[in-house]
């Protein structure tokens, strides 16, 4: 189904985005869960899917990671099943991400879905990224505290919780309600009855990740071979001293690499389009020939993007899952980034170019786009 979010985006961004948490009552009117608890439990039994069970019994927290063989050992209260990147594996759930494309695609990460029994939750904690938590079937109580320095502790090696906090939000969420939480605000939710929650998370790369990723790019391409030189080496009082101007020159060698747009843009396109979770890639067998792609699209078929596939434009180039798309047909290539589904009208005259068809066939045969049955 198609989800419509009842939200004034300019007003929301001005008042709340990365500023304050807020409950959006009936953000989705007449909300229908895209997935059932049984389907979610089935996904958590798959090897490729990231999942965990979090329980709190007799004052002790327990965490176990999937894939799970059975759920027969679980009690009737105080546990949650959490499954990451469900939008990669479940087409209907992927549709829940689309209303959030009012925000930049590159910032959107994945859809985590949880099923909780009464009392189920993961304890008080805070995240370093923005999240929209959509209430599905059932009711769940959420508390959100003020953004202040907080002590963190680990009741379990896989859980990082915070100390108790005063709530600035304390509400029961019902189907279709949305809780938005910016980074750094402590929060805690627990189910009042069997319930489903859908968390749309956002990427927030750290300086450490950026530097590490760019360093890998530099090494792979054997860039940065320019060495330090000092033909007019300055004198100093002590031979052990490294002078400020020498440090400036060394820093300049490093900054020179970052400040080359052609390299920085190419690296970032590759870096930011790589998924942090497995994709449900299923290359067609037998592979499509370019003329088969042409005939199908011309006859009215559409190509749909694989759930969770990251397709982004950096400057004038489009990147897919860590690779640049090479084609002179800019409008058609940019359409692959802008649209979830493409057809003959969107791709236009590019379909008449054998080189574009060959490139498109390669994407389809990689499992990145597919013809819907």
Can you tell me the mean pLDDT for 259-276? 96
Which residue's entry shows tokens 């990082």? Answer: 160
Stretch 119-135: mean pLDDT, rounded? 95
Which token pair is 340?
Answer: 């979830």
pLDDT, residue 150, reads 87
- Give pLDDT, residue 177: 98
pTM exceeding 0.85: yes
pLDDT at 280: 95
**pLDDT at site 151:** 86
Instruction: Assign 58 a pLDDT band (cuts: 50, 70, 90).
Output: confident
Instruction: Give mean pLDDT, residues 217-228.
Output: 94
pLDDT recorded at residue 283: 96
Average pLDDT, the chain: 96
Is the pLDDT reported for residue 232 higher than 90? yes
- Average pLDDT score over residue span 74-103: 96
Q: DSSP label at 51?
A: E
- For strand 22-24 and strand 178-181, is the pairing parallel, antiparallel, or unpaired? antiparallel
Q: Which helix (H) or strand (E) holds 204?
A: none
pLDDT tens track for 280-313: 999 999 999 999 999 999 999 999 999 999 999 9
DSSP code of 289?
Answer: P
Which of these, 143, 119, 124, 133, lies nearest to 192 by C-alpha position? 119
Sheet holding 22-24, edge to edge: 22-24, 178-181, 131-135, 195-202, 108-116, 79-83, 51-57, 60-65
pLDDT > 70: percent of the chain = 100
Determine the pLDDT at residue 71.
95
Q: What is the mean pLDDT of residues 319-346?
A: 96
**Predicted pLDDT at 152:** 87
Q: How confident is the model at residue 236 (pLDDT cuts 50, 70, 90)?
A: very high
pLDDT given at position 43: 97
Rounded Cα distance, 95 and 337, in Å: 16
Say whether pLDDT at 178 is over 80: yes
Whether 128 contacts 139, CB under 8 Å = no
How far is the first Cα of the chain from the last one, in angstroms, to the nearest whole number? 16
Q: What is the mean pLDDT of residues 113-124?
A: 96
Residue 92: what pLDDT? 95
Question: What would the mean pLDDT of 150-167 be, rounded to a whole number?
Answer: 89
Evaluate if residue 154 carries a pLDDT over 80: yes
Give the pLDDT score at 157: 84
CB of 288 closer than 8 Å to CB of 364? yes
Rounded to whole angstroms, the maximal C-alpha distance in the chain is 80
Under 8 Å between Cβ of 120 and 74: no
- For residue 153, what pLDDT is reported? 86
Minimal CA–CA distance to 216: which of 276, 251, 267, 278? 267
Q: CA 133 to CA 83: how far, in whole Å?
A: 14
Does position 29 have pLDDT exceeding 90, yes or no?
yes
Mean pLDDT over residues 2-17, rounded? 96
**Residue-range domains of the chain with CATH:** 9-202 (2.60.120.650), 207-259 (no CATH), 290-371 (3.40.366.30)
Rounded mean pLDDT, 140-156: 92
Report which of 272, 274, 289, 283 is spatially closest to residue 360, judged by C-alpha positions: 289
Q: Rounded to whole angstroms, how far apart are CA atoms 118 and 99?
A: 29
Q: Return the pLDDT at 1.
A: 78
State the pLDDT at residue 173. Answer: 97
For position 218, what pLDDT does the model report? 97
pLDDT tens digits along 62-73: 999 999 999 999
The answer to whether residues 371 and 303 touch, using CB atoms and an 8 Å cutoff, is yes
Cα separation, 174 vs 190, whole angstroms: 13
Residue 373 has pLDDT above 80, yes or no: no
């Amino acid at each position: 189904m198609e989800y419509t979010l009842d939200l004034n985006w300019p007003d929301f961004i001005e008042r709340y985005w990365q500023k304050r948490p807020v409950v959006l009552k009936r953000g989705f009117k007449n909300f229908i869960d895209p997935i059932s608890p049984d389907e979610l439990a089935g996904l958590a039994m798959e090897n490729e899917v990231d999942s965990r069970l979090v329980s709190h019994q007799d004052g002790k927290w327990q965490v176990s990671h999937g894939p799970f063989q059975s759920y027969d050992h679980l009690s009737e209260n105080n546990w949650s099943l959490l499954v990451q990147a469900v939008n990669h594996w479940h087409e209907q759930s992927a549709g829940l991400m689309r209303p959030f494309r009012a925000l930049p695609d590159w910032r959107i990460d994945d859809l985590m879905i949880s099923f909780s029994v009464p009392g189920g939750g993961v304890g008080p904690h805070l995240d370093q990224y923005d999240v929209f938590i959509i209430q599905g079937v059932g009711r769940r109580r959420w508390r959100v505290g003020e953004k202040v320095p907080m002590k963190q502790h680990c009741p379990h090696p896989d859980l990082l919780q915070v100390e108790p906090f005063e709530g600035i939000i304390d509400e029961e969420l019902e189907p279709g309600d949305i809780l938005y939480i910016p980074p750094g605000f402590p929060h805690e939710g627990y189910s009042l009855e069997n319930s489903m929650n859908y968390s749309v998370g956002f990427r927030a790369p750290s300086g450490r990740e950026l530097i590490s990723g760019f360093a890998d790019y530099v090494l792979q391409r054997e860039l940065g071979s320019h060495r330090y030189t000092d033909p007019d080496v300055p004198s100093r009082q002590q031979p052990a001293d490294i002078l400020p101007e020498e440090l400036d020159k060394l820093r300049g060698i490093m900054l020179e690499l970052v400040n080359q747009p052609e390299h920085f843009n190419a690296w970032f396109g590759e870096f930011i389009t790589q998924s942090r979770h497995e994709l449900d890639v299923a290359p067609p067998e037998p592979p499509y020939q370019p003329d088969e792609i042409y005939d199908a699209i011309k006859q009215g078929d559409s190509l749909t993007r694989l759930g969770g596939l990251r397709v982004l434009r950096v400057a004038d180039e489009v990147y897919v899952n860590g690779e640049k798309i090479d084609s002179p047909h800019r409008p058609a290539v940019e359409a692959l980034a802008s649209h979830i589904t493409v057809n003959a009208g969107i791709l236009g005259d590019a379909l008449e170019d054998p080189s574009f068809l060959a490139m498109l066939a390669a994407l389809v045969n990689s499992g990145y786009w597919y013809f819907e049955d």
